Amino acid sequence: MPFLALSCRPAHTRRVPAGCALGVVLTALACGPALARSSGPPRTQAIDTVVIHTTGGPTCDPKSGRPVWVRAGTLAANMRFIEAHPKLGIHYMIDRDGTLRRSVPEDQVAHHVFGHSARSIAIELVNDGDGVDPFPEAQIRAVTALIQDIAQRRGLPRQAVQRHSDLDRTLMPCDRTKRRKVDPGPAFPYQAVLDAVFPGQR
């Protein structure tokens, strides 16, 4: 399964085991010492952002050099991959049935979005992220409750909740006409979730 390699040059690619889709939606964010499984370095910046990702998404096939779409995979496979990876990390992952898994603690940095990881919390949703794969109601309820909890604890406003595609607007190295990060995609009810979390805020 194709995946953007973890380095300071995110155009590089390599293969990961089948079923490990998460890698295609996480960016190579930091150089330096490897991070340990489900932990990261202590934060030095205040948290001011929550970033919504999906486990599926576009990448460059290392064999053909063409864009391909990697599907969502399973919660278990994605968690095994991310927690075994030396650098990538997330804080939370939510399955289609609403099952919530925690990984890196919030007070530690998880490398998940280029240029924003040091001050953000990562939420991964098991979904293809292609705008077609639906987000089940149980998954939406779970992510809404999680964002509401984080926002209340951290004193975050509506504008703090961003999609991965809002923050990473780089282009695919194998097709400069296509975005590299498009998750969570148009099937995710972004505005409706924000309305539920922040009633009355615009």
Range of 142's domain?
2-197
C-alpha distances in angstroms, 147 versus 64, 140, 180? 39, 11, 25
Q: Give domain status of residue 75, yes or no.
A: yes
CATH code of residue 147:
3.40.80.10
Contact 14, 41 (CB under 8 A): no
**Percent of all residues in the chain with a pLDDT value above 70, rounded to a whole number:** 82
Token look-up 């007070």 returns: 107
Give the contacts of 120 (CB within 8 A, at least 6 positions apart).
47, 48, 49, 50, 51, 112, 113, 162
Closest CA to 103 of 48, 190, 26: 26
pLDDT tens, residue by residue, 161-170 = 999 999 999 9
* Residue 3 vs residue 167, higher pLDDT: 167
Q: Give domain status of residue 202, yes or no.
A: no
Separation of alpha carbons 13 and 140, rounded Å: 32
Mean per-residue pLDDT, 139-149: 98
Separation of alpha carbons 194 and 56, rounded Å: 22
**Percent of all residues in the chain with a pLDDT value above 90, rounded to a whole number:** 76
Q: Give domain status of residue 90, yes or no.
A: yes
Counted domains in the chain: 1
Separation of alpha carbons 157 and 74, rounded Å: 31
Q: Examine the pLDDT at 61 and tell me if it is beyond 80.
A: yes
Which of 16-31 are b and which e, b meaning 16 or more Cβ less than 10 Å from the residue's Cβ?
A: beebbbbbbbbbbbbe
Q: Examine the pLDDT at 16 and tell me if it is beyond 50.
A: no
Q: Give domain status of residue 27, yes or no.
A: yes
